[in-house]
């Protein structure tokens, strides 16, 4: 009798093991970026919201984890180089995961100053600049905005995960009836193409909506009147919706089945 029961016991064990492995391999969508992706603690305490804090509603959270690891004030350089930021995310990435990134608003800051020292070289080139960082009190090699994006992508792909670059959302800055565009969107697209990453033209998507709504509506309903960069909840909801639509439309990314 014991010998006859063994095959069934093996089958039962295999089923339980497969079920356990499926639960263990639930993928994660990591989101990284600056304060336009996660503002403060991500709870809207100051009235400002980043779109990464609201995008989870578009996902089947029983099928995929959504973790917003963005931090206000960061640039590609400071997020990448801070071991408490990128390295912690990188250590958590498993094969089959996804990493969605949006930077650019702080990369235009000074490369060397005594406040934040977070700027990057403009563009998507391989040029670099050797500087003394007064905050870290050490020498540092600073690269371009696009170079850091490509570094993120390389790290992600080496872990067997999928990298997605978003161009930065536009500021509430107008020239007549048109929203001012940023060169960082162009460089983000170039970096994505060179690194073989997926790209979401978020700047263009948002601008199309803003220009349809008109300057007055955008200024009063999507932004804090005293802040041309950070969105209030309605603005973040719009941005999250546009990102989600792109993630779903670009089926090769592989996120549609979790949405």
Query: Cβ of 87: how many Cβ atoms within 10 Å?
Result: 13
Question: Cα–Cα distance between 98 and 167 in angstroms, integer?
Answer: 17
Question: Cα–Cα distance between 189 and 108 in angstroms, integer?
Answer: 17
Give Cα 209 distance to the centre of its chain.
21
Torsion of CA 205, 256, 100, 190, to 10 degrees: -60
Q: How confident is the model at residue 21 (pLDDT cuts 50, 70, 90)?
A: very low
Predicted confidence (pLDDT) per residue in 98-142, tens digit: 999 999 999 999 999 999 999 999 999 999 999 999 999 999 999
Query: How high is the pLDDT of residue 225?
Result: 86
Q: Is the pLDDT of residue 84 over 70?
A: yes
Rg (CA), the chain: 21
- What's this model's pTM, rounded to 2 decimal places? 0.90
* Residues whose CB is less than 8 angstroms from the CB of residue 129 and which lie 6 or more positions away in sequence, other chains included: 111, 121, 141, 142
Q: Is the pLDDT of residue 198 over 90?
A: yes
Q: How confident is the model at residue 16 (pLDDT cuts 50, 70, 90)?
A: very low
């Amino acid at each position: 009798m014991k010998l006859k029961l063994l095959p069934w016991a093996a089958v039962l064990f295999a089923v339980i093991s497969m079920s356990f492995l499926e639960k263990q391999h639930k993928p994660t969508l990591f989101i990284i970026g600056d304060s336009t992706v996660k503002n403060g603690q991500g709870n809207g305490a100051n009235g400002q919201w980043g779109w990464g804090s609201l995008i989870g509603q578009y996902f089947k959270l029983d099928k995929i984890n959504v973790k917003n690891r963005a931090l206000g004030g960061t640039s590609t350089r400071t997020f990448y180089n801070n071991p408490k930021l990128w390295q912690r995310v990188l250590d958590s990435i498993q094969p089959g995961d996804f990493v969605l990134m949006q930077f650019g608003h702080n990369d235009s800051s000074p490369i060397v100053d005594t406040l934040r020292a977070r700027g990057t070289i403009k563009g998507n080139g391989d040029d670099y600049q050797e500087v003394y960082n007064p905050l870290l009190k050490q020498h540092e090699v600073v690269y371009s905005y696009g170079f850091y994006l490509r570094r993120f992508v390389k790290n992600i792909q080496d872990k067997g995960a999928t990298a997605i670059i978003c161009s930065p959302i536009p500021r509430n800055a107008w020239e007549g009836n048109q929203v001012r565009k940023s060169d960082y969107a162009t460089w983000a697209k170039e970096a994505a193409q060179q690194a073989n990453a997926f790209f979401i033209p978020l700047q263009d998507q948002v601008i199309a909506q803003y220009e349809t709504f008109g300057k007055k509506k955008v200024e009063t309903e999507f932004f804090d009147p005293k802040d041309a960069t950070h969105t209030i909840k309605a603005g973040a909801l719009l941005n999250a919706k546009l990102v989600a639509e792109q993630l779903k439309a670009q089926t090769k990314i592989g996120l549609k089945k979790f949405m």
